[in-house]
Amino acid sequence: MRNKIALVNGHIYTGSDNFIGQALLIHGQHIHGIFPRHAVPDDYEIVDVDGANICPGLIDLQIYGTGTDLFSADLREAAVHHIDQQLLAQGCTSYLLTLATNSLALFKEAIAVFLAARSSVAIGLHLEGPFLNAQKRGAHPEELIVKAQRAAIQDLLADAEGAVRMMTVAPELLDDDCLQLLLDAGVLVSAGHSTATYAEGLTAFAKGIKAATHLWNAMSGLHHREPGLPGAIFRDANVRASIVVDGIHVNYEVVRLSKQLLGERLFLITDAVGACSSGPYQHVRQDDHFTLPDGTLSGSALTLLGAVKNCVEQVGIPLDEAIRMATVYPAALIGQANIGSLQGGTTANVLVFNKDFTVRTVYFHGKEVV
The four Cα atoms 157, 268, 211, 330 give a dihedral, to 10 degrees, of: 70
Instruction: Give the relative orientation of helices 252-262 and 228-235 as an angle to the nearest 10 degrees.
Output: 40
Which residue type sits at 130? Answer: P
C-alpha distances in Å from residue 52, one per residue of 47, 55, 57, 238, 335 = 12, 10, 15, 35, 29
Separation between Cα atoms, residue 135 and residue 194, nearest integer Å: 8
| Phi (first) and psi of residue 85, to 5 degrees | -65, -40
Please answer whether residues 72 and 110 qualify as being in contact, where contact means their C-beta atoms are separated by less than 8 angstroms: yes
Q: How far is CA 83 from the centre of its chain?
A: 14
Separation between Cα atoms, residue 66 and residue 91, nearest integer Å: 13
For residue 271, indicate whether it is catalytic.
yes
Please answer whether residues 127 and 192 qualify as being in contact, where contact means their C-beta atoms are separated by less than 8 angstroms: no
First-to-last CA distance in the chain? 15
Q: Which of 69, 176, 271, 288 is catalytic?
A: 271
- Beta-strand pair 30-36/22-27: antiparallel
- Whether the bond into 130 is cis, omega within 30 of 0: yes
User: Hey, which bits of 64-206 come out as E strands?
Assistant: 65-66, 69-70, 92-100, 122-128, 164-169, 188-191
C-alpha distances in Å from residue 204, one per residue of 189, 236, 360, 366 = 10, 11, 43, 40
Q: Give exposure, 292-329, as e/b (b: 16+ Cβ within 10 Å).
A: beeeebbbbbbbbbbbbbbbbeebebebbbbbbbbbbb
- Beta-strand pair 350-353/359-364: antiparallel
Q: Which residues are catalytic?
A: 271
